[in-house]
A and B are shown apart, each in its own frame.
Chain A
Amino acid sequence: MHSDLVAVELSGKNRTRNYFTPGVFVVLLVALNGIGFLAARFLFGLGSVTNLNNQYPWGIWIGIDVGAGVALAAGGFTSAAIAHIMHKDEFHAIVRPALLTAMLGYTFVAIGVMTDLGRWYYIWHPMIMWNPNSALFEVGICVMIYVNVLYIEFLPLVAERFINRVNLPGLLKRFNKPLDSLLKMMDRGLGKTMFSFIIAGVVLSTLHQSSLGTLMIIAGQKMHPLWQTPVLPLLFYLSAIAVGFPMVIFESLLASRSFGLKPEMHVLSKLANYIAPLLGVYLSFKIGDMCIRKSFVYLGEVNRESVMFVLEMSLFIIPFFMFLMKRVVTSQILLFTASTLVIAGVVVNRINNFVIAYHPPYAQQSYSPSIGEVSITLGFIAIMVLIYRACVMIFPVISVEKSAMGIGNTVVEDHQ
């Protein structure tokens, strides 16, 4: 089946749509708005755009840009694990879109962290100033290494696109040959060693996805008991694994629609069959932990925390039952809905853990994000969407059926 699929760049003879559409212009406006606030943040300091203070040192930039961002990029390592490590070859078509998402996602996690850092220009300090006791140090180091691994994993796509096709204009023409040989050399070297990077990617993801959960444990009783538990690292890891495939499906269906391609439902449906078990494992640990700690007593009262907790749990439980149904797994619209719910669940979970659950002892009023914080977060997402769109038009990321495209080249779908 899968051998009919081939990854192509959606440009040149494969182009189905222009880069600019009315939707893209809207996204561009959101991006520009974010960049405006971003400039203010770097020129005048964090206080000028955020609602952060000495009681609430962390806001939605940590909760969404970092916490949710890292989780939603988990598709990169879960799809690599299933396609390359477990060799379920039918899933090779999803590896590249997931890889691109992870690469862009982690790049923007790094940029998001930098935006949040008071002294952003010292972001490299953890490389030489170590504190192995710190969960944040572990997250920082793993993310730094993993970003590089992701870029290395992406290099074969660059090679595939440009080997024998390097075509620089004008004076740069003389570099065409050396660049081409460089690409070929790199491609040969990577082909032999890529397996080690793929495994490293999975190990690094396991480490930092879980350590991200360790982050708030040190806040102790400042964190609401509905979320504060020593198994947070496990819950973060399991929920990241559970959201990986929904994210792949979500993007694949969106991209198909946006580029007017036929969605690869037979691959996506097979992938969707894994989601209910993965959600089930997460939910059993989450609910089991709640029963052992008896934290459900806090659901008796109606307040911001209990409402957010119920919302979060429903966003996991509803799609869990949806993914059990064959009708959902085979229907484009239902599959999209269920995947969106899981993604929303993980985003709400990360916001809850980093923002809603955090109760500083002397707060005068609780934190809610400022317009500037929201604008910058949305701006980063918008920029990511724009770069993603450009990347799938430049590099062979998205797989299409050979017959549908009438493609003449002999590029194979995957390079590992």
Chain B
Amino acid sequence: MGAGVLTLGPLHAEASKPKNVLSPDRMGVLVDTTVCVGCRNCEYACKKAHAMPAGDPESYKDRGPFEKMRRPGENDLTVVNEFKDPRDKTLLPVNVKVQCMHCDRPGCVSACIVGALTKQENGSVIWDTKKCIGCRYCMVACPFQIPSFQYNQALEPEIRKCDFCNLRTKQGQLPACIEVCPVEAITYGPRSEVIKIAREKIRRSPDRYLNHILGEKEVDGTSWVYLASRKFTQLGFPDLPSMPAPGVSEALQHGIFSYFVPPALFYSLLGSVMWLSKKGSDTNEHTPDKGDGDA
């Protein structure tokens, strides 16, 4: 297919950037917030898939939790929020599923001091318990404020966030939330295809959708992308630039270091200053006072 080949061009250019794997075949998800009905089955399935206490499935029918906005946490890697229309409360509310966006250029991966967070070829950003030291810099770096930390664990506290069901998908299964969604509000597939589907949806129903795919451009692209009928800032999303989250920070880091040339030059410069000024101070004042220069 012509379009498929076209998308490979820029993606390959991106993959040549020096850092994390960014496979052109990486997977993505389209969340259509105009379809989601807020059944919260995905929340239940997610907990089951990650062996977390999930409680009674019937309890998820309760719409009480929608009263306030919830955020993903150590015991819920995904949550669904509900947003009423600010002008007309009788209109149908919008339900928005929240989880890690699995950025293409993730801030958390760039920030992590030990490289415990990595962007996988299949698109998922995952966390390695064997490396993590619990510094929580990933939480500072995340533009969507997603990772959570187990503050009440004295030993082996974990950073927890959606892992895109990395283990399930490696075995050929669908991510748990995708599998369970009864209204197909979430579509799973190669990211490039998912973006195409989103564009097609907007083209077909321009009245239904805002002409904006959240996550297509934001922070240089995310694996999870969203469609909505309303501005995303009204649906609990931050308004983000198209610059990748680690952009300035990595540029500075590599600028200061660039293969240790600047530090080495600085070292030699200081060495020369030290040697030259030593000669000066020796001849000028120090001849009688042996004590000082002696070691």
Contacts and interface: CB of A to CB of B under 8 A. Distances in A.
Contacts of A192: 295
A214 B73 CA distance: 28
Interface in A37-81: 42-48, 50, 52-55, 57-58, 81
A189 B273 CA distance: 23
Contacts of A129: 114-116, 131
Contacts of A252: none
Interface string A179-202: 000000000001110110011101
B78 interface: no
Contacts of A125: 113-114, 131, 133
B156 to A, nearest CB: 7
A239 to B, nearest CB: 17
A135 B134 CA distance: 16
Contact of A85 (B143, B149, B153, B273): B273
B115 to A, nearest CB: 4
Contact of B267 (A119, A203, A220): A203
A134 B253 CA distance: 8
B263 A119 contact: no
A133 B114 contact: no
Interface in B149-171: 149-157
Given A126-B114, A203-B270, A219-B140, A55 B145 contact: yes
A357 to B, nearest CB: 11
B132 A119 contact: yes
Interface string B252-263: 110011000001
Interface string A189-232: 01110110011101100110011001111111110000000100
B149 to A, nearest CB: 6
Contacts of A156: 295
Interface stretch (A270-278, A290-298, A408-416): A408-416
B248 A137 contact: no
Interface string A116-152: 1111101101100111111111101000000000000
A200 to B, nearest CB: 7
Contact of B256 (A86, A211, A219, A415): A211
B206 to A, nearest CB: 29
A210 B145 contact: no
Interface in A368-416: 412-416
Interface hub of A126, A217, A230 (most chain B Cβ within 10 A): A217
A136 B280 CA distance: 40
Given A87-B277, A89-B286, A412-B294, A117 B134 contact: yes
Interface stretch (B39-47, B54-62, B239-247): B239-247
B221 to A, nearest CB: 16
A218 B133 contact: no
Interface stretch (A303-311, A322-330, A358-366): A358-366
Given A3-B291, A126-B113, A58 B274 contact: no
A46 B151 contact: yes
B97 to A, nearest CB: 15
A203 B263 contact: yes
A191 B135 contact: no
Contacts of B151: 45-47, 50, 52-53
B143 A413 contact: no
B69 interface: yes
A34 interface: no
A350 interface: no
A130 B263 CA distance: 19
Interface residues of A, number: 77
Given A199-B270, A202-B270, A415-B295, A118 B249 contact: no
Q: State the majority secondary structure of interface residues on B.
A: loop
A57 B136 CA distance: 6
A44 B280 CA distance: 59
Interface string B12-48: 0000000100000000000000000000000000000
Given A46-B151, A117-B135, A125-B131, A203 B266 contact: yes
Contacts of B236: 362
Contact of B250 (A43, A133, A190, A219): A133
A222 B292 contact: no
B139 interface: yes
Given A125-B131, A214-B253, A414-B292, A133 B143 contact: no
Contacts of A416: 295
Given A119-B157, A199-B271, A217-B248, A132 B71 contact: no
A67 B289 CA distance: 41
Nearest to A207: B263
Nearest to A85: B274
Interface stretch (B3-11, B86-94, B104-112): B104-112
A233 interface: yes
A96 interface: no
B141 interface: yes
Interface in A80-94: 81, 84-87, 89, 92
B145 to A, nearest CB: 5
Nearest to A234: B252
Contacts of A415: 295
Contacts of A210: 256
Interface hub of B144, B267, B274 (most chain A Cβ within 10 A): B274
Interface of B: 19, 69, 71, 73, 107, 109-116, 131-137, 139-141, 143-145, 147-157, 236, 238, 240-241, 245-246, 248-250, 252-253, 256-257, 263, 266-267, 270-271, 273-274, 277-278, 280-281, 285-286, 289, 291-292, 294-295
9 contacts: A54-B73, A58-B136, A85-B273, A129-B116, A133-B19, A135-B249, A156-B295, A211-B253, A219-B141
Smallest CB-CB A-B distances: 4 pairs: A118-B134, A191-B295, A47-B151, A57-B136
Given A211-B253, A361-B145, 14 more contacts: A42-B154, A122-B132, A123-B133, A125-B113, A130-B114, A131-B110, A136-B111, A138-B253, A218-B140, A219-B140, A221-B241, A222-B145, A358-B140, A362-B145
Interface of A: 3, 42-48, 50, 52-55, 57-58, 81, 84-87, 89, 92, 116-120, 122-123, 125-126, 129-138, 140, 156, 190-192, 194-195, 198-200, 202-203, 206-207, 210-211, 214-222, 230, 233, 358, 360-362, 412-416
